[in-house]
Amino acid sequence: MHNLFTKLGLMLVLFQSHASGSIRAQDIQGIDSLFSALEERQGFNGNVILQQNGQVIYERSMGLADVEAGIPLDSLSVFELASSGKCYTAAAIGMLKDDGRLDFDDPVVQHLPGFPFPDISLRHLLNHVSGLPDYMEHFDAHGEPGGLACNQDVLDFLALEGTTRQFAPGDSFRYSNTGYVVLASVVEQVSGFTFDQFLQKRVFLPLGMERSLAFTLAYHPLISVHGYAYGHLKDEQGNVTATNKSPATLEVYRWGLRPVQGDGNIIGSVRDHATFINALVHGELLRPQTWQEMTTSGRTNDGRPTGYGFGLYVPEGGKEFGHTGNVPGYQTFFRHLNAQDVTLVYARNVESWDWSWFAQLNELLEKH
């Protein structure tokens, strides 16, 4: 999953908070007015939810789940979470750590025999400092047109003779979808469940996340997903086309989405995603020490902070965490402000690169 913002510096600009206390009614009204204006000019097609102390204080659906059929979104609509789903992979590793099945500093090869880089640890993968090459670039260059890759294909690519790393483990930070695919394979090897089964058993069912699953095209045709919001692209003339509604439009998904697991590929409602984030924050899934490690910035070998924990962007100061996600036709975002115990989640299914409203939204969250 390609991240919505490719440079860490830009990501950190989005996560800047100096606020504490409760969100005021007038600020919620301001947020609603902001989204009303966006909806009126068709600048936002998607769902948004705002929670404080685990309780919904604002929720809104704007636009259509299926533009061609004119089907509106509702509060239970299901979106592709893209890279916002990396926190599920990290949490799964954390749960196995709490089970005593692994440690974060274990070499990957300890759990995936034959993994070709014995000096890479689980922590290196979690923090994006492993230096592994990008599997998407490889499959784009060498994959069969229209083919679908799975996790074993990614592992086979890494094992190819001549496959080289971008840098030695820990020397630098580079956002790595490949690393999170490997982590999902570790979850499967250690737990004895497929990745989607593990999340269903340990996360979705216990938390009542009925609109969430780790999606694989082989197991779940889109038509079987109740309330699925199709992704759409908008051209310069304002014309909107679906990206994943039929075989003819699935080409943009050929690599990096299905059935590869771990680097994203979680689908769910914004309600469910907020439920998951609050379960992490309130200690329902991980032990306190494990959660603390998940929300602590990694560091390079020379001590530089990366601003990324385990599946989460964690800016300096420890005031908040969050993540973005982007795949063709979808953009997702979540942000949790620790002092206020406020969680914002939104998902868009008509892709737009207009972010003129984003600073205003943050200001409304932070002004009290």
The C-alpha atoms of residue 181 and residue 149 are separated, in whole angstroms, by: 11
The C-alpha atoms of residue 368 and residue 352 are separated, in whole angstroms, by: 29
CB 350 within 8 A of CB 108: no
Two structure tokens written together for 128: 């994006």
Amino acid at 304: R
Two structure tokens written together for 19: 């606020």
Two structure tokens written together for 346: 């939104």
Two structure tokens written together for 152: 């074993």
Contacts of 33 by beta carbon, 8 Å cutoff, 6+ apart: none
Contacts of 207 by beta carbon, 8 Å cutoff, 6+ apart: 272, 275, 276, 279, 284
CB 365 within 8 A of CB 72: no
The C-alpha atoms of residue 270 and residue 49 are separated, in whole angstroms, by: 7
| Residues identified as active-site | 83
> Peptide bond preceding 259: is omega within 30 degrees of 0, i.e. cis?
yes
Output Rg (C-alpha) for the chain, integer angstroms. Answer: 20
**Torsion of the alpha carbons at 171, 172, 174 and 179, rounded to the nearest 10:** 20
Contacts of 224 by beta carbon, 8 Å cutoff, 6+ apart: none
Range 116-153 burial, b when 16+ CB lie within 10 A, else e? ebeebbbbbbbbbbbbbbbbbebbeeebeeeebbbbeb
Cα–chain-centroid distance for residue 332?
Answer: 8
